[in-house]
Chain A
């Protein structure tokens, strides 16, 4: 049925009650009896919950006071953070040397920030990263330019978390790609080796790998030979993440049409070059979002290293809380940690989303 002429239809505006704030409210919150009730209940809940929260966080809280001052207040004692910031972030890294991990971290952030721009993705970028890593390693370990040596056992706090996650990813990615290629190999030996590895690792929790690396692995080593504890944890994380990356990359490889292999082969490209130049660039692009997912979980999973007595940022916070002076402010400390983790993870996801869009716009 047609109502009104064409010109009328062209000039017609939506009825007022369907647009603007009122329209939106009507449509989304009060469109039937049940939803209206639900909305009212939610509003009541928020009214009960939010004002006290705001009072606790902002109004009755202290930010830069001593522990004593905190005893007399109702609100949050955020002072626990600034008072312990150097321990939470750098743990047992010797006092007075903590500018070193700080500089290393800032350098890392600078490199990450610089790498965000795809225009910088040239060979020089790899050189910057290599130089950056050498400098960071030097800063952390010391022993050069008059900086005293700091054993890895003392590396702790946020730099440790970042390091385990970042190197975990950097190490796991190539290994994961190789495993994915191996799993698709026609050579039955290589294929079954990769399948067994991937399924075994995915079948156990990271915690058990960390345990094995710290407890069982040394048993297999000849007497007198010992492996750095941080390095062992790092290896465990790499081996763990690689299995997940392998599966993600395999998904990407499956999405590449056979025609791409055929065209590359028909040009006379070898298997390795076909993979490197044609297949992997396309497959890895597809798997950016799930890869970032793995990076994020690796980042969060690093907190498990506490069980082998490494002090990541979560553990240093716990240690701070066991200080009698600051005992009882765990809500504040853990909220702070949550925000710290969230900011990092959110930065990763939003970057992956942007990258995905940019790469997609490329063609």
Chain B
């Protein structure tokens, strides 16, 4: 589908201009990063620069290291070589720095990982109250705003177990947003969901993208990649094999492995 309508092109242009201006200060910078699990070389020489408001979609076959890579960005996994700098802070063993970075980086998991013993509202206010030291009242008000944004405010007093998968994932997104993150990481946010719930979660993510959130999304939802991403990245065997604008990526994939992958998934 080479032709997009004029309106889409224009807004794309504006967005790109915005990105150009931000080019100087990347929010995430990964330089020559390697990671091993024991003897297994999971990530090989990863280089990545993410500028504010950029939307990156990462795809690739199972086991290629997508999850491991984005989990390195908030140090849920430790890298062994190279550098990772997030929001001007380099990730090292310094736990204070790690906590600082984590507070600025939101993460949404495949299996939601809501806290089952807390109500939805408590799930949302936990971070702001205990990490940001926001007063309770204020945190609750903000939480309600985000719940409205993900269209789920009426469930505030329920427990996670009482919600559907799609609702839980939207709560998980709202929980991250409550921390006012500068970057959001998504690790296959829709792949544990029943098909009819995928759209409600993607819609929330599209809203978020339109508001200018910087996002790294591991997903196999190629429709989402085409309509939202600034850059699509293909990973295989622990390497970033190819990256390009969605149009180029889907219409003229350069690498054989990318072509093979796309032929399987589309």
Binding site for B on A (CB under 8 A): 257, 259-260, 262-270, 273, 277-278, 281-282, 285, 362-363
Contact = CB atoms under 8 A, between A and B. Distances in A.
Contacts of B255: none
Contacts of A263: 107, 109, 113-115, 172
A267 B116 contact: no
B131 A268 contact: yes
Given A262-B113, A265-B102, A277 B126 contact: yes
Interface stretch (B31-39, B48-56, B159-167, B203-211): B159-167
Nearest to A266: B107
Interface of B: 74, 76, 95, 99-100, 102-103, 105-107, 109, 111, 113-117, 126-127, 130-131, 159-162, 172, 175-176, 179
Given A260-B115, A263-B115, A363 B126 contact: no
Nearest to B129: A277
Contacts of A269: 99, 126-127, 130-131
B161 A260 contact: no
Contact of A266 (B76, B114, B117, B162): B76
Contacts of B99: 268-270
A267 B102 contact: yes
A259 B116 contact: no
B76 A268 contact: no
Contact of A265 (B76, B126, B130): B76
A262 B179 contact: no
Contacts of A285: 117
Given A266-B102, A267-B103, 7 more contacts: A259-B111, A260-B113, A266-B106, A267-B127, A268-B131, A269-B130, A281-B117
Contacts of A281: 117
Contacts of B116: 282, 363
A282 B111 CA distance: 18
18 contacts: A257-B113, A262-B76, A262-B107, A263-B107, A265-B74, A266-B105, A266-B107, A266-B176, A267-B102, A267-B126, A268-B103, A268-B179, A269-B99, A270-B99, A282-B115, A285-B117, A363-B117, A363-B162
Nearest to B185: A266
A80 to B, nearest CB: 50
A363 B160 contact: yes
Nearest to B104: A268
Most chain B C-beta atoms within 10 Å of own C-beta, residue among A263, A267, A281, A363 = A267
A59 B162 CA distance: 58
Given A268-B179, A363-B117, A262 B127 contact: no
A277 to B, nearest CB: 7
A257 B126 CA distance: 19
A277 B130 contact: yes
Nearest to B172: A263
Contacts of A262: 76, 107, 109, 113
Most chain A C-beta atoms within 10 Å of own C-beta, residue among B100, B113, B179 = B113
Nearest to B131: A268
A265 B109 CA distance: 12
Contacts of B100: 268
Given A260-B115, A262-B76, A363-B117, A267 B131 contact: yes
Contacts of B127: 267-269
Nearest to A363: B159
A278 B115 contact: yes
Contacts of A266: 74, 76, 102, 105-107, 176
A259 B168 CA distance: 14
Contacts of B126: 267, 269, 277
B166 to A, nearest CB: 18
